Amino acid sequence: MSWGGMHTTSGFITNSEIHNNTAACGYGGGVSTNRTMTIRNSSIHDNFALNGNGGGYSNRSNGALTVINSTFVNNQASGAGGAIFNKLEYTGGGTPGFMKLINSTNRLRLEYFSFPVL
């Protein structure tokens, strides 16, 4: 499994530009994570996930995603989620994760793939 631009466990991406990355055989051409994430005032563009999901952003485990004042432009994936792949799992005993987009833009490949697993 591989990722493109970065794999992070910090939970926050702020005032950043992540672009022109490729996940050669995996998830998250631009960003890959396995936790709750907030992306604020950032641009994620021209990334590609080859043989995987989430051209711009991928979260393959339970975790909410909040995107504020950010853009996803021209990200592609050979699988699901050209811009964003956010797998949301519900394990019982609480609320499942969520995906929230606030004042954000996605151009080209308008595709968000997010689903609860019950």
Task: Give the model's pLDDT for residue 108.
Answer: 47
pLDDT level of residue 19 (50, 70, 90 thresholds): very high
Separation CA 15–CA 70 (nearest Å): 9
Tell me: the pLDDT tens digits for 62-81? 678 888 999 888 888 888 77
Separation CA 92–CA 75 (nearest Å): 33
**Region 36-48: what's the mean pLDDT?**
92
Domain boundaries, the chain: 6-117
Contact 76, 49 (CB under 8 A): yes
Q: Please name the amino acid found at residue 50.
A: L
Q: If DSSP codes are grouped into helix, strand and coil, which group holds residue 81?
A: coil
Tell me: the pLDDT tens digits for 28-37? 888 988 888 8
Whether pLDDT at 10 is above 60 = yes
